[in-house]
Structure formats: structure tokens, C-alpha cells
Amino acid sequence: MDIHEFLAHLNRGEAVEGGSEMYRMMHKVSQEALKLTAELNGDYHTPEEINVDFNYSSCIVEYGPGTGVFTERILKKRKKNTMVFLFETNKNFYNLIKEKYRDEPNFYIINNSAEYIGKYLKKYGICKADYIVSGLPFASLPNNISSNILTETEKYLNKHGKFITFQYTLLKKNFIEKYFNEIHIKRELRNVPPAYVLCCTN
């Protein structure tokens, strides 16, 4: 099957059955799209733009790293004794990142929801994180999960720490805002698709 047959099928509004050749094609195309956007976005997601002070960070947490666009930059810029924790629920992304950074010191990737940040920080003797960077799509996560994540984020963020979250819409701005004292929003047009960067402080 080629891409034209696949698109013609979708344009006719026909269903894609699980396990079918059409389904495999859909999976392949979406994986390619993910890779492509990650490459395009990789060029602008600089640590300066995500506003992390790497000199004064002893612990950085990332939620939902996916293919690791932010992870790459965090690991390049952090001091080697800064602890980095990642929470990724998708087993494939988890395996990919675990393998890629298997030799990194003070680096922990956890195949569990960001809701459990507290449990894992405690496990490694950390009280609070200096920065929490997130690619989680709050607009499409169930409300109770978002609420658990934001409650824990507020709880485990240092007094002068920052929660930096990338969103494709501002649908959940008011919801996110309830958990923090201050929120600054920047539009990043170079992202594909354009994104908002919300920087939240306690």
C-alpha cells in the first residue's frame, strides 16, 4: 500500500480496522510525522527559550518527553551532578530514551505517570525540583489526571522553581493557573504546530 491509497481511503471516510494493513500504514505514517515534527522542533527548543538556569539547578524533572526533544537539550546543558528525572507513560518512548541515555549519570527515566513525581523524588532522597518541564497535552488529558499532576507539581516545585509547560491551545490556561501564583505566556510560532509556552511559579 502507498500513501495515496491510504489517503484515498481516509478521504472516503472509511474505517481503519485494528491490525489491518491500513492500520499498519496509519501507524507508520503517524510515526514518521512524529519524527519529522520532532526534528523541526528540535532546532528551536533551546534551553534559553525554556528559561532554565542550569547553573542553579540541582534537580530538573521532565514530564512526557516523547522522543526526547527537550531531554537532549537538558542533558547537554545540565551540570553532571544535577539530577534529571523523566516521566513517560508510553513504553516505546520510555525504552527509546532509556536505551539512548543509558550511560548518563544522575539520570532516571520512569515508566509511570507524572502524577507520581512525589513518590519517585522521595525514593531518590530529593525534596523538591528546581524546574519541571512538561510536554503533556493538558487539553486532552482527563481532568482528574491533569488535576493530580498539577497538584503534585505545585507541591514538589521549589519555592523559586519554575513549571514550564508547552501547550498547543490555551484551553486549559485557567485550569493550570489555579495551581500557581504567577503565569507568563509566550507564543512560539516557530513550533510545528505553533505552541504556547506557559511559565508558572509558586
130 touching ligand SAM, by CB under 6 A: no
Candidates 22, 57, 85, 88; binder of ligand SAM (CB under 6 A) is 88
167 touching ligand SAM, by CB under 6 A: no
Candidates 50, 70, 132, 157; binder of ligand SAM (CB under 6 A) is 70
163 touching ligand SAM, by CB under 6 A: no
Candidates 65, 130, 167, 176; binder of ligand SAM (CB under 6 A) is 65
Instruction: Residue 158: name the closest of 111, 200, 116 by CA.
Output: 200
3-state secondary structure of 2: coil
Task: Point out which span in 13-21, 58-66, 154-162, 179-187 binds ligand SAM (CB under 6 A).
Answer: 58-66
Q: In what order do the strands lie in the sheet with 195-201?
A: 107-110, 83-87, 59-63, 129-134, 157-167, 195-201, 182-188
Task: Point out which span in 2-10, 50-58, 84-92, 153-161 binds ligand SAM (CB under 6 A).
Answer: 84-92
176 touching ligand SAM, by CB under 6 A: no
User: Nearer to ligand SAM by C-beta: 9 or 118?
Assistant: 118
Candidates 22, 52, 63, 150; binder of ligand SAM (CB under 6 A) is 63
Grid coordinates of 16: 481503519
User: Nearer to ligand SAM by C-beta: 115 or 130?
Assistant: 115
User: Nearer to ligand SAM by C-beta: 57 or 153?
Assistant: 153
CB 155 within 8 A of CB 61: no
* Alpha-carbon distances of 17 from 31, 92, 201, rounded to whole Å: 18, 22, 45
Instruction: Residue 133: name the closest of 193, 68, 81, 89 by CA.
Output: 68
CB 138 within 8 A of CB 163: no
Dihedral angle computed from the Cα positions of residues 118, 72, 163 and 56, in that order, rounded to the nearest 10 degrees: 90
- The residues that touch ligand SAM, with contacts defined as CB under 6 A, are 38, 41, 63-66, 69-70, 87-90, 93, 113-114, 135-137, 145, 166
